[in-house]
Structures are given as C-alpha cells and as structure tokens.
Amino acid sequence: MKTKLSVALFLSLLVFATCKKDKECVKGNGDFVQETRFPEAFNSVKIYNDANLYFAPGTESRIDLFAESNINPLIKTDVSQGVLTISVNDDECYTATVAPEITLSSPDCNEFYMNGSGKLEAHGINSDYFKIAVTGSGPVNSSLGVNELDLISEGSGNINLAGYARECNITLLASGNVYARNLESATCVVVSEGSGNITVNVTVSLSVIIKGSGNVYYSGNPPVIEEIITGSGLLIKED
C-alpha cells in the first residue's frame, strides 16, 4: 500500500511540474498602460526579467511601470530588508511586444544587480558607495560622482560609465566591454578574467590583473602602475 501511495504521489508531483514547465507564456496584447507603485524604502535593486530599468535619485521610493496591460500584473516588485526585487513568479512568463519600462526613484539606492537582457540607465548618482553587478546581456549606462565604485560584469552587455569615482574596482569575467574612459578615478583596481575589453581613466594609482584574453586600456598618466598578466590580454596605454 505504501508503495502504491508513493508512486501516486510521485506521479501527481510529476504532472504538476510538467504543467508548470509547459504553461504557455502570456503574449503582450499591445495595450500599453502605466502603473505607479509606492514601495517601502529600498537601497538595493535586483531585477530578474527583461525589462528596461531607469533610475534617478528622488525624495520618495517610487516605481513607474509602463507595459502591456496583461503583462503589468505579472511583474512583481517586492521589498525585503531594503532590497527591491523585480521578477515574475516561477510558474509564469511573458512575451512582450515591447520590453516593459520601469522607472525607479529612491533617496538612498546604491546597488543594482542586473540578471536579464534589459538595459540599465542610472544617472545623477551622488553617494559614498555605488555598486553595479551584471550577469545578463543588457547594456548599462551610468553617470555618477562617488567615493567608491564596485563594478562586476559577468554578462555580455557593454557598460558605459561617466563622471568621477575616487576609488574604482572593476572585475570583468565574461565578454562584455567596460568603457570607463569618461569616468575619472584617482585609484583603480582592475581584474580581467574574460574576453571583454576594459578602458579606464586613472590619475594616481592603477593596479591590473589580467587572466583572460581581454585588453585593459588606460589613460590619465597614473604615476603608480602595478600589473600581473598571466593571460593573453594586454595592458595598453592610450593617449
């Protein structure tokens, strides 16, 4: 009897899992609407879908979501312990006519984790610390003025940075390029383990570790340069 019950339970779970896996994605209906949400305060954002994300500092925590009317309800925006997570349920998916656009504002947000093909536009950043981590294919464009910048790229999207960071730490592990010539830094630590190229502008101290095939290009004439190269990539000075 126990064996029969176990087999029945296994089959029911299998059917449930198959239904979730085979569930058809919602197709965008072409009827675009805007919805405004007011979440609790957040200082970090994690996105797990293919929406385009636009951020600028503001006096309140606010989300403006522009998407097709049958897709809007599928996009979850939950805050837990200061982290805003943008996602869809595991058993749901959608195919949009045009990628949803999400505009965020917050007085204290300083971390972004991008895990999809959507782009990130983050401008007007002025803070002590700022972090961007990318594992997807979407591009990133950001203008900022910070004391410390941490950038981790594990995706294929290109990253463009402008402004000033007193200290910058750039880690590249994949094929995306990092263009930071328009970001002036006093000191910068660069670790390149991928095939993408990195361009930096450093005025005081540059430390470079190259383990992959991507090149590191630098300008700014830093008097202190430390390099460890075990890959095929090169450290190249630009005029």
Distance CA 5, CA 232 (A): 59
- Tell whether 61 and 159 lie within a shared domain: no
Residue 218 is part of which domain span? 123-239
| Domain-located, residue 103 | yes
Reported as a pLDDT band with limits 50, 70 and 90, residue 90 is confident
What pLDDT, on a 0 to 100 scale, did the predictor assign at position 16? Answer: 33
- Tell whether 129 and 203 lie within a shared domain: yes
- Tell whether 205 and 134 lie within a shared domain: yes
Residue 206: pLDDT over 90:
yes
Reported as a pLDDT band with limits 50, 70 and 90, residue 23 is confident
| Domain-located, residue 140 | yes
Where residue 79 falls (left for φ over 0; alpha for ψ -120 to 50; beta otherwise) is beta
Reported as a pLDDT band with limits 50, 70 and 90, residue 22 is low
Residue, of 14 and 29, whose pLDDT is higher: 29
The token duo for 49 is 């879908």
| Domain-located, residue 133 | yes
**End of a domain among 74, 109, 144?**
109
| Domain-located, residue 157 | yes
- Tell whether 95 and 73 lie within a shared domain: yes
- Tell whether 82 and 157 lie within a shared domain: no
Distance CA 151, CA 168 (A): 8
Give mean pLDDT, residues 194-217: 99
Distance CA 183, CA 165 (A): 7
**End of a domain among 82, 109, 136?**
109
Taking only the tens place, the pLDDT of each residue in 111-160 is 999 999 999 999 999 999 999 999 999 999 999 999 999 999 999 999 99
Q: β-pairing, 111-114 with 120-134?
A: parallel
% the chain with pLDDT above 90 = 87
**End of a domain among 87, 109, 131?**
109
What pLDDT, on a 0 to 100 scale, did the predictor assign at position 14? Answer: 39
Identify the residue whose tokens are 């779970």: 13
Task: Give the chain's domain count.
Answer: 2
What pLDDT, on a 0 to 100 scale, did the predictor assign at position 174? Answer: 97
Residue 17: pLDDT over 90:
no
Residue, of 20 and 218, whose pLDDT is higher: 218
What pLDDT, on a 0 to 100 scale, did the predictor assign at position 239? Answer: 78
| Domain-located, residue 187 | yes
% the chain with pLDDT above 70 = 91
| Domain-located, residue 116 | no
Query: Residue 32 sits in a domain of what CATH number?
Result: 2.160.20.120
Distance CA 205, CA 236 (A): 15
- Tell whether 103 and 182 lie within a shared domain: no
Provide the whole-model pTM.
0.89
| Domain-located, residue 9 | no
Q: Residue length, the chain?
A: 239
| Domain-located, residue 178 | yes
